[in-house]
Structure 1
Amino acid sequence: MIILFLIYVQPYENESLASFIFRTAKENFMEEPLWFLSLFTERYKHKLCESSLNWLDDIPLSEICEILKVNIQDAERMTFPNLLKQLHLPLKNKVKCPWIMYHTTKFCPFCIVEKQYHRIAWSLTYSHCCPKNNVFLIEKCVKCNKHITPRRIILDQCGCGATLSTFPVNYVEDLSLIEYQKIINNLFIKKGSFHLNKWITNHRMLFKSLEFFATWIPQILPKHEIPSIQNIAFSENVIARTRLKKEKSDQQALILYTYAYKLLYDWPNSYHNLIRTAENNVEDNNFSIFIKTALPNLLQTELYPIFKEFINYLGIYKLQTKDSLISLEEIPQLIKHFNKDIVESNYFHPLPVNLKDINLTVYKQKEIENWCNFYNESITKEEARSILGTSSKVTYQILSNNLIQDIAHKKNGSMTSWIIPIHALANFIKELKKQSVRTLEQKEIRTLNKAFEWIGYTNSHHLIRAMLEGKIKYIFNEKNLGNSVLPVHDIYTVIRNIMLKNAEIAGELPISNLTFLLGVKKSDIEHWIKTKRFGENKSLNAVTFENFHLFKKQYLTTYQLSHITGLSISQIIKKNYTGKIHSISGPKFNDGNKILFPINVLKDLQVHKYHF
């Protein structure tokens, strides 16, 4: 069956799609406009729901265009999705959409008399009055109290039989409400931006701001502090953080949206008054939630000015300062690699504020900005590690021992947060490059990373400090610090001297240091402790400095002998095997796994002076 109408009508200005469909049906003498939906189903084999007509898109909308002989662009302009797109408002869920009444509408009886169709603006949550006739819009039937749909507008009749165009009206006396509604309605006519105040410059920001304040005003203010409109007082209880259009009657929503509009229009004075009034009338924890959660959640959104003005309020009325302030939550926008532990350290001077037992902390923005000028071009520890080519543990030793100047850090438990200025790291690398040599005389060399594995990462900073101070020669690798090369002999000498100096102060040498100094394994040290080579030593984890000296006066390991004489390990072992030098301990004596020589072996090798 092909649907052909005798009469095809044209859309009115700002008419909704549902209105256009039902008006076409009425013009073609359908006693019940819903018959159109039955005919549509018969032709296209799928159903249309009355409540979804203003939400149509894609194929169903194209099919409507085919029936009504209207182009797709005109049809799209009559839908709610297009309206939201025009107003730059997001649509996540049609039923829960806060901006539009899903399938019911408000209306102006005078407008129905003038021209009987549904104006799409009437379904906007923020429409409360008709600026043309200066009357409040009507939300429900005055006889049966049922909601009105666009189809009822076309019929000019409620389901109970009451005539909509004859409903009594309530005139608007508050001129600010008329101005508010004109701004809302003009959004359907004027394209582009507008300026309600310094920061509300488009439709989306306006509606989001209205929704934010209309949601929170009844939660932080007692009812008697919410201004009434023409003897209409706010009287309903609030269900925290619910959708306003779902939980409030139109009259109650009118009070809140109008208050929100006036607050935005008189920005920031009215906003300051709101905070002050809320603070003086705290009855529950909603005010605390507003301050600690709702406002910070506006960061990095279009509504950030609402949060920022609250910080300004604290400065003006609580701290009596003209200095610009900044909150802890805002600082990440200024500092590239931000960690709140850094800010909460002694690098900054916090300004405590108390707001009805709500403790807040702010900072002078200039102080933060000055700090940022120095640290904003910075990197993290992991980024520094990547540049240097060192392990995480070695990089930590470099940072924690101040080998790189001007770094900022804060320790929180076992974790340390670092901010490393790029110029500081560059200076560190520059100094290392400056001390570098072109060639090394020694044949036995190691990369810096291999040296760190050998000496232990906890001693890595000692080696780098020696490099910076010119105490050890090395060839610097510009691409990767960890691949720089150093003489093994010099590495050993530098670290040995540091270990012995520290041991003299501490009174003992840890086993880990002894393995390095003697060039043996931990098990070898433990064996020599048990066999009293270190004298009477109670611990297997460390040797007293006194006992170490006792050992040093009597014995030499193969590695020590190699270091003193310049002979290789294999050469020393060969001399011992051929009987040119004699050992006193080791596998052939069934006394441990490592060879131990008496101190007088040096005479056999004709070494008369040595330092260890």
Structure 2
Amino acid sequence: MKYFLNRLEPKLNESIMSFIYRTTLANYQNFNTIFDDLSSIVFVYNCNYLDKDAYWYDQFSKVVTLLRRECDDLLLNKFDEYFSQDLLFGINHDRICYLKKHTKYCPECLNEDFYHRLYWDVSFVTVCTEHKIRLLETCPRCSKKIRLARLMQNQCTCGYIYESAILPKTNLTDNEVQAQNILQGLLLNQKNHCSIKNGTKLDKKEYLRLFFLFCHLIDNVKVGNVYQEEGTIQKFNIGMKNKEPKNIEMMSLVTTFVHLLITNPEEYLSNVINEINNQASFKKETRKLKMRSFNLIKTHEKGQLYNTIYTDYLIHLKDKYVNTLKNVEIKPEEKEYLTLEEVTKVYKIPLRRIKFLIDKGRLKLIKTNTSTGQVRLIEKSSIVTYLNSLKYEINKIDTSKLLGLQPERVIDMVERGILKAIHGPKTDGFWSWIFDEREVEKLLRKSLKNAQLIESPTEDMIHFHKANFLLRHLEVDTIDLFIRIVKGDFTAFVIKKKSNFSDVYLSKAEIENLKKQFEETRIAEKGYTLKEFGVLFNTDARKVKSWVVSGKIKSINQMKNPNGTTTYFIQKEYVENLVRIFREYPSHNLKKQLEELYRERNI
């Protein structure tokens, strides 16, 4: 072979095969014949990546020497230092990162200057950033993959002219365009760095290192579980681990998502980690390999942001025992969900007490069923709420002192639904009554909000407890009286600088009126008591009771008391009838007259 006489200069970002093709034309030679017996190779391979182990390497290298110039910048090999740092995928990086048997192109670029751009053969390059269109990887007419040798001849086997392609307007997303601008800008040395969300700047080598690590992390991950993007792609396919087509749509999605993970990891990184840790999605060994890759990411010189997000993810993890994970150093105090043992150790709460608080709903237990068993964790916020409430918890005696009522009345208020207990024998079975001091004070303020402040009580006022005593026989207990004060049925007075019912006074007149109303109602419904009957007729109540028991007085009502005794009432009509009879027999000795009346009339 002879050197080419007409020497050309490579064009911007031109590939070696494009340069050889243009040089052969300039020297009036046949592109196929210069490769001798390897002419078929150029129609199968792009040959823009030189693999020393390839059988055609020596023959191709001889052709390159005919160009009489250094051609390293025209080869994909120049990107190896950024892509070949780890054999993460179990296969050579060049099979992942470069196109070797077909190519893609921008028809607008070909129309402007017909030559093949080297970076078109980088798998992750999917968009022409100058013309804002997605690159073509198949013939618009026959849909065959585009061979580089065919592209340089500008004609598909079906006869279609490649540069004549008119692409429909592609709706590129902002994220897709931004990802391609950064990736291509760094690859082609048009940009010096890429900034991530926390302000950290990544140079070309750092960005592409993280890019490749993240590619391994998301490979074979379900798209819908980590990235809500409309489309038909089910799983990311980078290392050929699934049957999804590894086409330009796939690689565009991969590039876009990986760029987002690098620059804005707060939005999606937790989703990816969670999916990787999902035992139903990946086998144990696969999870280990992926977490090994992620460990390289978060321990990267500029991986502080990723480590922070991972730590936050672990802190909020509620379906795994974080302390069992490898390479994890999270203190129990930092976690949002803790084991029962951690709660005991950190907050000094006995295990028996913890179980009781869980049973009573004071502590929130999160249960998650996994393939290895059930995970039981306690929500930290419920622990904090419980501990904060402890300083406000008071027992029955303190509550009664705060209200100024007897302890028994406090329980009555609970049973009547006026006061809520945190714990108690009749609420949740707890041996002691426990109340929230804030709720008790709130109830006290509500009950006395309309009370009038006084310096000291006057003669027309009666103390709350005394009024309560006077009304008890009328079936108006302490709680009834309390409710009437809250409703405003009584005018309440409170001594200044006092705040509970031990210093509350009521109007005597209002109490007497209420007493009278109850007596009138009771007489109308049940009748007179034996004592009232005796007073009315100047007769001893015991004598009246003997008449009732002996049956001499028949018009009676009876009421069984809780203690087993019986209270008797003489009906109102009967008493009024007696009064009319006594008017016919005026006498100073009413008692004797009444006895004669009973003997004569047996009434």
Q: TM-score, normalised by structure 1?
A: 0.45
Q: TM-score, normalised by structure 2?
A: 0.45
